[in-house]
Amino acid sequence: MSRVGKNPVIIPQGVDCNLADGILKAKGTKGQLSMPISQEVSVEIKDGKVHVQPRSQAKFSRMMWGTTQSLISNLVKGVSEGFTKRLEINGVGYRAQMKGSTLVLNLGFSHDVEVAVPSNLNVVCEKHTLIIVRGADCQKVGEFAANVRGYRPPEPYKGKGVKYEGEYILRKEGKKK
């Protein structure tokens, strides 16, 4: 029994949800998103809530029950509030800046790393060592932040690199004499 799937997704004020031809569309202040609904679950919208139920008691149907409910929850939250990831840069001379729609990272390589920012994301460099990624699609925000972090992940000896804000880096002791 899915404990996640049992809970209906509450549609907040200012968000419109429509279900047509197996595609759920949500429109809100932060934009418009859509997602296909699996054939293994049934989705219905009533009383300002989205209810998800499995079509059968097969294992795959029950798995898709919780997954679909979670994806719909992210969809509704994305168009109403949006998602944010904050990245910190640690290291001498490491910095980031925006040039138009390109994020330019100086991470200790012989060259600057230039990352094209997708049109549906908003990337801001408040300081040279802080990158804020905002967007309506949870998956796109997380993927972009993970790609930026992947250019120079934090290393365990000095902690230099790109990390998520609040991420704990397990530190190692350096070599001894």
Token pair 């300081």 in the structure block, residue: 127
What percent of the chain stands above pLDDT 90? 41
CB-based contact 73:9 (threshold 8 Å): yes
Q: pLDDT (tens digit, 9 = 90+) per residue, 43-58?
A: 888 888 989 889 888 8
CB-based contact 54:62 (threshold 8 Å): yes
Q: How confident is the model at residue 21 (pLDDT cuts 50, 70, 90)?
A: confident
The rounded distance, in Å, linking the Cα atoms of 135 and 78 is 7
- From residue 111, give the alpha-carbon distance in Å to each of 63, 76, 94, 106, 160: 46, 40, 12, 7, 17
Q: pLDDT (tens digit, 9 = 90+) per residue, 87-133?
A: 999 988 899 999 988 999 998 889 999 999 998 899 999 889 999 99
User: Residue 29: what are its φ and ψ, rounded to 5°?
Assistant: -70, -30
List the domains of the chain with CATH numbers: 3-80 (3.90.930.12), 83-164 (3.90.930.12)
Residues in Cβ contact with 69 at an 8 Å cutoff, skipping those fewer than 6 apart: 2, 4, 5, 7, 9, 52
Q: Locate 107 and state its tokens.
A: 């991470």
The rounded distance, in Å, linking the Cα atoms of 74 and 123 is 20
DSSP, res 172: -
Q: What is the structure's pLDDT at 22?
A: 86
Query: Under DSSP, is residue 34 helix (H, G, I), strand (E, B) or coil?
Result: strand
Q: What is the structure's pLDDT at 4?
A: 80
Q: How confident is the model at residue 150 (pLDDT cuts 50, 70, 90)?
A: very high
Q: What is the structure's pLDDT at 1?
A: 60
